[in-house]
Amino acid sequence: MIDRLTAAVSRGAAWLIACAALLIVFEVFARYAFNRPTIWAVELVTAFCAVAFFLAGAEAERQGQHIRIGLLYDHAPPRLRKLLDAVAFAVGSLFLFGLAWGAARQFWLGVWQFDATGWRPETTGRAWNVPLPPVVRTLFLLASVLLFLQLLARTRQALRLRQGRQSASSSAWGG
């Protein structure tokens, strides 16, 4: 189920990159063909790319493409691989917890800002000056949760495969 969710989210992230590319083409055309640059295109492209990069982490985990020391892992015996999978899960979980905590904290601080005129969420601070940072941080938080769920699913799958292989090899050898 997590694999399907990650694949669907990844397709959405790919569309964000495609939209970002189209927006850049539009911006270049508006700027140089009509001398009418936009005030919003660069900020929106930056947000689209940031969100797509955040979401790509779960897809990389789903495909088993995150960095690991292949020389050690690929030549390790099954029990050591199991241990390495567990350590990778623990370290990854700790990292993702810190990432999610930081994103949630930044979101909270960016959204709940007030001044004399009332509620003023954090804005980009540029010409367009819209409250884009809290939106990006929310998606960053959700991407961190999705990456954790994908890490959990992949670790469970790896441990099951190893256990299945050990059972098959021990029963084949009469053990």
160-175 pLDDT, tens per residue?
A: 766 666 555 444 444 4
Please give the residue that has the higher pLDDT: either 5 or 64: 5
Please say whether the beta carbons of 11 and 62 come within 8 A: no
Neighbours of 63 (CB within 10 A): 14
Backbone angles phi, psi at 118, to 5 degrees: 125, -145
What distance in Å separates the CA atoms of residue 131 and residue 136, rounded to the nearest whole number?
9
pLDDT at 172: 43
pLDDT at 175: 41
| pLDDT of 91 strictly over 90 | yes
Q: What global pTM score does this model have?
A: 0.80
Confidence of residue 21 (pLDDT cuts 50, 70, 90): very high
Neighbours of 109 (CB within 10 A): 12
| pLDDT of 128 strictly over 70 | yes
pLDDT at 84: 87
Report how far apart, in Å, the C-alpha atoms of 28 and of each of 37, 42, 44, 119 are.
8, 10, 14, 35
The domains of the chain are located at: 2-172
Ranked by mean pLDDT, the top range of 16-20, 83-87, 108-112, 157-161 is 16-20
- Residue 51 identity (one-letter amino acid): V
